[in-house]
Structure 1
Amino acid sequence: MARVDVRPGRRACDRRAVPLLALGLAVGLAVAAVPGWASAAPNATRVVSAATEPAEDPGGDPPTTDPTDPGPEPTEAPSTTAPPPETTPPAPTTEPAPTTTAPEQPVPTTAAPTTGAPPPAPSAPPVRPSAPAVSPPAPPAGVSVTTDDITLTAAYWNAPSTVTTLRVTITNTGATPARIRLAYTLPAGLADAGTPGCAPVGGGAHRCGEWSSTPGARFSTLLRVRVDGDAWKRMPLSGSVRVTATAPGVPGPVGDDEGFAVLFPPGPPVPGIRLDAEAVSFDISGGSSGLDVRLGNTGRVDAEGRIEVVLPAGVTVPAPPSGCTTVDPTRTRCALGTLAAGRSAQLRLPVSATPEAQRQAPLAGAVLGQLDPRSGQPRRVQMSFRITAAAALATPVASPPAPTGSQGVLAAGAPTLDDDGAGGSVRRTAILLIVVSTLLVVFALTLATTSLRRRMTTPVAGPSTAPTE
């Protein structure tokens, strides 16, 4: 019987190639089939859901009694007046895009050629109009309040008390009609002078009746305030105003508040001394413009000059300049040396404030100036200055809270797998697995190809006849 002679080495090679080829193909198919390995950094859907609860109101000096607490309810709302004109930021001064025209063809001095048309003049690229700014929709309920300051004139020093007004401007920033209530707190030395529709509730706090307002309504009211003749001894003085709005179908009220400063003129009037202090303002980054104070000796003799700066809570002088010492966190005392008659000295102090104090702005500070002549009585005068902050104006009114992340949802700003950290290690592991599987597939294919090539090139032995017995 004829048999085909197959070499044992070739059969062993074929047996090794088939399992390796099958293993490489299986690993490659597994890598391609698993989406987590094929894409090591999947894109998570960022979901920002509309909030159903209003955010907490910005910080400030709230009234000692909550306006919603039971108490004497005013029977009517205060009278309203026309609001002051709104101060809108100036429109951006964007220069118009330059108009490009085709360059003029020079007048030929010789005859034009008979063949070939002149190339077309280059046309200006079309200017794509910018998309109009889309303002976010107004919340169902919203309210904002702005206040003026109580600014006293020099006539204050000649009266036992002064009656003035505090203007409060309210805006319904919601999309639905709302009922708005007003409450305000006056500092020590100030009292309500009989504002119609408002009633005291204790501790300097007052509560007023409510208005019915339409969406976008803006109006002002004037609060009558009496300033005692000795209130200047307590400077700096500041107060606060708070408004709340309730709308049908909106759970809970929304509110806004703002402070106001009580600004006294330099005094009590004393001959031979002059004091001046500039306002302090904090920009949106929290940086301060500093406090500039000027003390003048308008007398006829030389005197030793000294100033003392008193700041509200949360506002400090972090690094007193030379000649100044910190008496306590809100009080700084500076020696100016000898001031000749008719001369003045100017001092600049750096001022810092906590974020909470900036949100309560505007606030008031006080400066006390003193001259000690070599002969005669000391001359002393003081005044208040205003402290403002851009953070108070940038505080959103009833802003919705940021969405919280849950299973399967990443809040806006949450790190994805593309960021450094755990996502990077997962991606590196996936890439390593892909490279290893690719190498296995290439090795298996190379081994199979080599085996087939050997079988094709090696001559096959002819049939042999077994010897017969």
Structure 2
Amino acid sequence: MARVDVRPGRRARDRRALPLLAIGLAVGLTVTAGPGWATAAPTAARVASPATEPAGEPGGDTPTADPTETEPVPTEAPSTTAPPPETTPPVATTEPAPTTTAPEQPAPTTAAPTTAAPPPAPAPSVPPVRPSAPASTPPAPAAGVSVTTDDVTLTAAYWNAPSTVTTLRVTVTNTGATPARIRLAYTLPAGLSDAGTGGCAPAGGGEHRCGEWASAPGARFSTLLRVRVDGDAWKRMPLSGSVRVTATAPGVPGVVSDNEGFAVLFPPGPPVPGIRLAADAVSFDISGGSSGLEVRLGNTGRVDAEGRIEVVLPAGVTVPTPPSGCTTVSPARTRCALGTLAAGRTAQLRLPVSATPEAQRQAPLAGAVLGQLDPRSGPTRQVQMSFRITSAAALATPVASPPAPTGSQGVLAAEAPAVSDGGGGGSVRRTAILLIVISMLLVVFALALATTSLRRRMTAPVTGPSAASTE
């Protein structure tokens, strides 16, 4: 019987090539999967490492005063009250909107149908409305605070009293993600003084400083500042003040702050018969433009009179182009002659108003209008009042890098320290790339070895059958 003679050396090489190919492929697959593990482990360690640090307790070693403040402050905070309701519109819910469907078919009865009419066609199905995904909101900063103020608004009773005590509502919000210690300071203009607000003390120059509150993240509360307005403060109008809050948080470096102004609004007066004065508020939009100031002067007397209006504006607010009949007395004062105003008639005047960006950021502010009637017979009648100046730029969030919410005149967010991995991320990536290259080389080597062995086997001469023994 004939048989093929295969040399023992070649058979041994074939047997060795297959195990080497299998080993090379296994090593390559194992090392290729390894970089994923090597990359995931350091990442998990970095994420979990902050949790191992002890969390700071509110009011630990956080300083209770700004680094620049050296004067003593009250140790007790002013009393708080419920804040006013939010004025922002409610957030739309994600519930699907109601859909209109075809009229509902009558319920089937238990009696058999009398005709063989086909069943009514089903109502067309309306695909359900999928709720839109909620808009992603940026995470709250580690520390943040905002303040809003009302105005000191006086009634007509002010003209009958030597002084008037009123309140100024201040609303504070902890906009950060951690508990904070919040302090308040406010500055009153000339003619106004503190009327005994608990937890606050004068610091000179019309400034008052108050004790601090311990505030939880997202907490919102109000406090009422008692203010006394002198009986002759109207002679100094327009009058404006400001409120400032600062906050510190455990584990967050630096101090965050926010401030907002408030206006002192006087009613028309002192009351004089025969004259009436009114002025609308001035509002600047986000682009810095305004609709102007509208003033109305009425002659309620019985004789004709020459009318005149004088507008006094705060610093940074001007009348850029006075209309016909008006002259600029000073950058803050514009005088307009209205001519003869008949008895029982009212003159209306609109003046363009502009403001610098700094003045808009300090809003709300106050301006003043003086109206005068000089009749042909009788004494001159004069009355004055104040009006409010607001700006959308004081409430908007400017585009900045890094972003800092402004609240009113600019909430200064605490700068978070940059997180560094100490170069660990780069070494992990280099190690992963090196392992991938090595695994690829091993696979190529195993494939080359197997290919060479198979090629030698296919090209080797085949020996002929050996002659069988004749014996």
User: Which of the five TM-score ranges fits, normalised by the shorter chain?
Assistant: 0.5 to 0.7
Identity of paired residues, percent?
A: 87
Match of 2:456 in 1: none
Match of 1:155 in 2: 157
Counterpart amino acid of 2:389?
I
Secondary structure of 1:394 counterpart = coil
Taking a change above 3 Å as real, the CA distance of residues 321 and 251 of structure 1, as seen in their structure-2 partners, is same
Could you tell me whether the CA contact under 8 Å between 2:274 and 2:299 is conserved in 1?
A: yes
Q: Distance in 2 between matches of 1:332 and 1:223?
A: 34
User: Alpha-carbon deviation of 1:92?
Assistant: 6.3
Q: Distance in 1 between matches of 2:413 and 2:291?
A: 29
Counterpart amino acid of 2:84?
P
Match of 1:314 in 2: 316
Q: What's the TM-score once normalised by structure 1's chain length?
A: 0.65
User: Alpha-carbon deviation of 1:170?
Assistant: 0.5
Taking a change above 3 Å as real, the CA distance of residues 127 and 75 of structure 1, as seen in their structure-2 partners, is closer
Map 1:347-426 onto structure 2 (within 5 A).
347-395=349-397, 396=405, 397-399=411-413
Q: Distance in 2 between matches of 1:263 and 1:90?
A: 31
Q: Distance in 1 between matches of 2:101 and 2:82?
A: 50
Could you tell me whether the CA contact under 8 Å between 2:280 and 2:293 is conserved in 1?
A: yes
1:388-424 alpha-carbon deviations (Å, 9 max, x no partner): 11111114223478999xxxxxxxxxxxxxxxxxxxx
Counterpart amino acid of 1:87?
T
Q: Distance in 2 between matches of 1:89 and 1:67?
A: 39
1:178-219 alpha-carbon deviations (Å, 9 max, x no partner): 000000000001011111111111110110001111111111
Tell me if 1:69 matches 2:83: no
Taking a change above 3 Å as real, the CA distance of residues 90 and 318 of structure 1, as seen in their structure-2 partners, is farther
Q: Distance in 1 between matches of 2:170 and 2:67?
A: 17
Match of 2:193 in 1: 191
Secondary structure of 1:357 counterpart = helix
User: Alpha-carbon deviation of 1:287?
Assistant: 1.8
Q: Distance in 1 between matches of 2:350 and 2:416?
A: 41
Could you tell me whether the CA contact under 8 Å between 1:67 and 1:183 is conserved in 2?
A: no
Could you tell me whether the CA contact under 8 Å between 1:192 and 1:226 is conserved in 2?
A: yes
Q: What's the TM-score once normalised by structure 2's chain length?
A: 0.65
User: Alpha-carbon deviation of 1:375?
Assistant: 1.7
User: Alpha-carbon deviation of 1:289?
Assistant: 2.2
Structure of higher RCO (CA pairs closer than 8 Å, 6+ residues apart): 1
Secondary structure of 2:359 counterpart = helix
Tell me if 1:201 matches 2:215: no
User: Alpha-carbon deviation of 1:129?
Assistant: 3.5
Taking a change above 3 Å as real, the CA distance of residues 91 and 320 of structure 1, as seen in their structure-2 partners, is farther
Q: Distance in 2 between matches of 1:298 and 1:121?
A: 71
User: Alpha-carbon deviation of 1:328?
Assistant: 1.4
User: Alpha-carbon deviation of 1:137?
Assistant: 1.0
CA RMSD of aligned residues (A): 3.1
The alignment covers a number of residue pairs equal to 332
Map 1:440-451 onto structure 2 (within 5 A).
none
Match of 1:41 in 2: none
Could you tell me whether the CA contact under 8 Å between 2:163 and 2:230 is conserved in 1?
A: yes
Map 1:274-313 onto structure 2 (within 5 A).
274-313=276-315
Match of 1:226 in 2: 228
1:326-367 alpha-carbon deviations (Å, 9 max, x no partner): 111111111111001111101111111111111111100000
Match of 1:87 in 2: 87
Taking a change above 3 Å as real, the CA distance of residues 403 and 301 of structure 1, as seen in their structure-2 partners, is farther
Counterpart amino acid of 1:398?
L
Q: Distance in 1 between matches of 2:180 and 2:83?
A: 18
Taking a change above 3 Å as real, the CA distance of residues 82 and 129 of structure 1, as seen in their structure-2 partners, is closer
Q: Distance in 2 between matches of 1:403 and 1:175?
A: 16
1:64-96 alpha-carbon deviations (Å, 9 max, x no partner): x98941113212111111111111225569995
Could you tell me whether the CA contact under 8 Å between 1:273 and 1:379 is conserved in 2?
A: yes
Could you tell me whether the CA contact under 8 Å between 1:266 and 1:382 is conserved in 2?
A: yes
Q: Distance in 1 between matches of 2:132 and 2:308?
A: 59
User: Alpha-carbon deviation of 1:306?
Assistant: 0.3
Q: Distance in 2 between matches of 1:92 and 1:278?
A: 34
Unaligned runs of 5+ residues in structure 1 are 1-64, 102-111, 113-119, 405-469
Match of 1:237 in 2: 239
1:17-61 alpha-carbon deviations (Å, 9 max, x no partner): xxxxxxxxxxxxxxxxxxxxxxxxxxxxxxxxxxxxxxxxxxxxx
1:116-156 alpha-carbon deviations (Å, 9 max, x no partner): xxxx9997677554221122111111101010100001111
Counterpart amino acid of 2:216?
T
Which of these residues, 157, 165, 168, is aligned with residue 167 of structure 2?
A: 165
Map 1:91-130 onto structure 2 (within 5 A).
96=97, 127-130=129-132
Unaligned runs of 5+ residues in structure 2 are 1-64, 103-116, 398-404, 406-410, 419-471
Match of 1:144 in 2: 146
Q: Distance in 2 between matches of 1:205 and 1:122?
A: 71
Counterpart amino acid of 1:173?
T
Match of 2:7 in 1: none
Match of 2:339 in 1: 337
Q: Distance in 1 between matches of 2:415 and 2:248?
A: 19
Secondary structure of 2:338 counterpart = strand
1:214-257 alpha-carbon deviations (Å, 9 max, x no partner): 11111111111111111000000000000000001111110000
Taking a change above 3 Å as real, the CA distance of residues 312 and 66 of structure 1, as seen in their structure-2 partners, is farther
Taking a change above 3 Å as real, the CA distance of residues 400 and 210 of structure 1, as seen in their structure-2 partners, is closer
Secondary structure of 2:210 counterpart = strand
Q: Distance in 2 between matches of 1:67 and 1:336?
A: 55
Could you tell me whether the CA contact under 8 Å between 2:253 and 2:414 is conserved in 1?
A: no
Could you tell me whether the CA contact under 8 Å between 1:290 and 1:351 is conserved in 2?
A: yes
Q: Distance in 1 between matches of 2:290 and 2:93?
A: 27
Secondary structure of 2:343 counterpart = coil
Q: Distance in 2 between matches of 1:189 and 1:221?
A: 22
Counterpart amino acid of 2:380?
P
Q: Distance in 2 between matches of 1:136 and 1:283?
A: 25
Could you tell me whether the CA contact under 8 Å between 1:67 and 1:207 is conserved in 2?
A: no
Taking a change above 3 Å as real, the CA distance of residues 356 and 305 of structure 1, as seen in their structure-2 partners, is same
Counterpart amino acid of 1:198?
C
